[in-house]
Amino acid sequence: MLTRHSAVWVAVETATGQVELELVPAVEIPTAWSAQARWPPCLRRWPSRQRVECIKSFGFALLACSHYHWQLSFLQAEQVLLEQLDEDGGCRRKCL
């Protein structure tokens, strides 16, 4: 196990080989969106207004980048958006 800044690196042996994991301290901030936080105007039709409110209800997380700096993480929101990426019959997922 090696430490680097605020992250911890762990090497795990699996049946298919070694997997390296980076463990980073995170603080979950549930439902703390500011009233001024607005969805990007270029995306007004997707996702639906109800879906946007649902995604905002997940909150976000703060990930430790160093001893003094934090990064915003919207992982749960990103996962929900990616799940619905091609609901309209598009092929965006293939392009990723």
pLDDT per position as a tens digit, 9-56:
889 999 999 999 888 888 898 876 777 777 777 666 778 888 888 888
Q: Is residue 80 part of a domain?
A: yes
Both tokens assigned to 36: 């001024």
Helix, strand, coil distribution of the chain in percent, nearest 5: 25, 30, 40
Number of domains in the chain: 1
In a domain, residue 6? The reply is no
Domain presence at residue 11: no
Residue 17 lies in a domain: no
Domain ranges, residue 87: 25-95
Give a yes or no: residue 18 inside a domain. no
Residue 14 contacts residue 21 (beta carbons within 8 Å):
no
Residue 4 lies in a domain: no
pLDDT digits (tens, 9 = 90+) for 61-87: 998 887 788 888 999 888 888 887 777
Name the one residue in this structure whose structure tokens are 């997997």: 19
42 in any annotated domain: yes
pTM as predicted: 0.65
